[in-house]
């Protein structure tokens, strides 16, 4: 890690909100209360400005361009790979692959590693609380390779059954692919323990970190994780950019995921040799502008003491939980001891869509439905939940507005 001395910006949520232009707009005649951060975070003007500056002054296609603009854009793009490597404390920027999102990051591993290394009878372990993005790619690969998918059960509180997990692990387990923080419940899974147990069985671990990185810093080397997938747009960055961290030795052993430009070393009609890491996995012109703007998102996070951001979010979560628990008919879904950023609930048997519709009328943005976790909803025997998800730029006023909205919904609908 760099030895630079960092002076953090003092955490002042009202001042921070001024960096996010969209937070000052109205929806349906009310100030916007944005509590759909789990779906996508809003963007600070530093990120928006960076993207505009790139398109206004710096745009050119990158890599192999001899002219000034191309070289400058290449430098900016590759600097973000370096910055991402530092942010994650990865061993090398060759371990940082840019993709379209978490979904593509997981699909890359399922297609490249899965198809190349999985054999009939091998086993992959996921859990009941996975997003469809961490279920379907494995179902597809397992079906193709004759491998088996095993599922770790969870408790009603929304926590992994660790004893059941240990019983599922065996010499046939090749990979444990788990969500770090549940998008539907907010549960923070004990990933360090899971990685240690999996490694003892010589199984690899992939973590879906889409909901984790917006709420915490994650250190790849300290975790000793094999693959880590996440999306830029959930952590202040632009849409359409994902990251896959992969251990260098593993990525080296894996065949390319897609073929095309950029990923080749030499092409003849007889044989093509592939480029080195990370380019081997990045076919075609990449998402240059979004990647460069994502660099500004990482810089933005680094302006703050992460512990203060986390403490503020935990305060919001505790305050929201305590106030919402007073609302008539409220039933929380997922009550794990360790949670980040999410409160999921229903008002008795009222459809979450109805609650979301009333909240929308009041300018409150939440997500309703199954949150792309249908097996998890089946486990709870519900069609979906109302999910309020927080970011560090949310404040107590947002929580109060949510509580007022849910009280109103309860009064109208129950």
Partner 1 sequence: MSSSIDEIQDQVIEEFQLFDQWIEKYEYIIELGKNLPGLDDQYMRDENLVPGCQSRVWLHAELKGGKAVYAADSDAIITKGIIALLIRVLSEQPPEKVHEAELYFIDRIGLKDHLSSTRSNGLVSMINKMRTVARDLSKIA
Positive or negative torsion for Cα 129, 164, 178, 300: positive
Q: Which of 84, 107, 368, 410 binds partner 1 (CB under 8 A)?
A: 368
**Is 132 a binder of partner 1 (CB under 8 A)?**
no
- Phi and psi at 76, nearest 5°, equal -60, -45
201 catalytic per annotation: no
Residue 227 in tokens: 């693959």
**Is 72 a binder of partner 1 (CB under 8 A)?**
no
CB of 28 to partner 1, least distance (A): 7
CB of 354 to partner 1, least distance (A): 5
Closer to partner 1 by Cβ: residue 302 or 354: 354
Q: How far, in Å, are 40, 57, 194, 243 from residue 50 at the CA level? A: 19, 10, 38, 19
Q: Hey, is 35 helix, strand or coil?
A: coil
**Cβ within 8 Å of residue 167, ≥6 positions away:** none
Which region among 104-112, 144-152, 345-353, 397-405 touches partner 1 (by CB under 8 A)? 345-353
- Phi and psi at 192, nearest 5°, equal -65, -45
d(CA 342, CA 320): 10
Closer to partner 1 by Cβ: residue 245 or 380: 380
Which region among 58-66, 199-207, 253-261, 347-355 touches partner 1 (by CB under 8 A)? 347-355
Q: Which of 340, 358, 376, 386 binds partner 1 (CB under 8 A)?
A: 358
CB of 388 to partner 1, least distance (A): 17
d(CA 306, CA 287): 28
**Is 354 a binder of partner 1 (CB under 8 A)?**
yes
Burial 369-392 (b: 16+ CB within 10 A, else e): bbbbbeebbeebebbbbbbbbbbb
**Is 412 a binder of partner 1 (CB under 8 A)?**
yes
DSSP β-bridge partners for residue 339: 187
Closer to partner 1 by Cβ: residue 293 or 386: 386
**Is 413 a binder of partner 1 (CB under 8 A)?**
yes
- The residues of the shown chain that bind partner 1, judged by CB under 8 A, are 28, 350-351, 353-354, 357-358, 361, 368-369, 383-384, 408, 412-413
């Amino acid at each position: 890690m760099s030895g630079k001395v960092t002076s953090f910006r003092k955490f002042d949520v009202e001042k921070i909100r001024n960096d996010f232009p969209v937070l000052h707009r109205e929806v349906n005649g009310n100030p916007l209360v944005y509590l759909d951060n789990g779906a996508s975070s809003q963007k600070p003007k530093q990120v928006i400005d960076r993207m505009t500056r790139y398109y206004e002054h710096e745009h050119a296609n990158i890599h192999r361009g001899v002219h000034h603009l191309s070289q400058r854009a290449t430098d900016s793009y590759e600097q973000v790979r370096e910055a991402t490597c530092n942010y994650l404390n990865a061993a090398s920027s060759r371990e940082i692959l840019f993709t379209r999102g978490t979904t593509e990051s997981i699909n890359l591993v399922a297609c490249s590693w899965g198809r190349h290394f999985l054999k009939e009878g091998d086993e992959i372990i996921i859990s009941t609380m996975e997003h469809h993005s961490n279920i379907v790619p494995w179902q597809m690969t397992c079906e193709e390779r004759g491998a088996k998918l095993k599922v770790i059960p969870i408790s009603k509180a929304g926590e992994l059954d660790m004893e059941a997990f240990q019983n599922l692990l065996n010499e046939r387990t090749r990979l444990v692919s788990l969500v770090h923080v549940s998008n539907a419940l907010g549960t923070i899974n004990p990933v360090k323990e899971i990685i240690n147990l999996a490694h003892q069985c010589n199984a690899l671990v992939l973590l879906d970190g889409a909901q984790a990185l917006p709420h915490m810093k994650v250190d790849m080397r300290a975790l000793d994780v094999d693959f880590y997938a996440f999306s830029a747009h959930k952590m202040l960055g632009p849409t359409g950019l994902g990251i896959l961290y992969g251990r260098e030795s593993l990525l080296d052993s894996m065949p390319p995921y897609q073929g095309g430009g950029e990923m080749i070393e030499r092409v003849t009609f007889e044989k093509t040799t592939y480029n080195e890491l990370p380019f081997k996995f990045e076919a075609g012109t990449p998402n240059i502008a979004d990647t460069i703007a994502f660099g500004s998102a990482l810089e933005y996070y680094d302006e703050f003491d992460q512990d203060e951001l986390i403490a503020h979010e935990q305060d919001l979560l505790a305050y929201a939980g305590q106030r919402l628990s007073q609302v008539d008919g409220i039933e929380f879904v997922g009550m794990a001891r360790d949670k980040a950023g999410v409160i999921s609930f229903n008002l008795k048997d009222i459809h979450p869509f109805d609650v979301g519709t009333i909240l929308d009328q009041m300018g409150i943005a939440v997500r309703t439905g199954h949150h792309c976790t249908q097996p998890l909803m089946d486990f709870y025997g519900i069609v979906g939940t109302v999910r309020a998800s927080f970011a560090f730029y949310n404040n107590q006023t947002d929580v109060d507005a949510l509580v007022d909205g849910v009280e109103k919904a309860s009064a109208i609908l129950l």
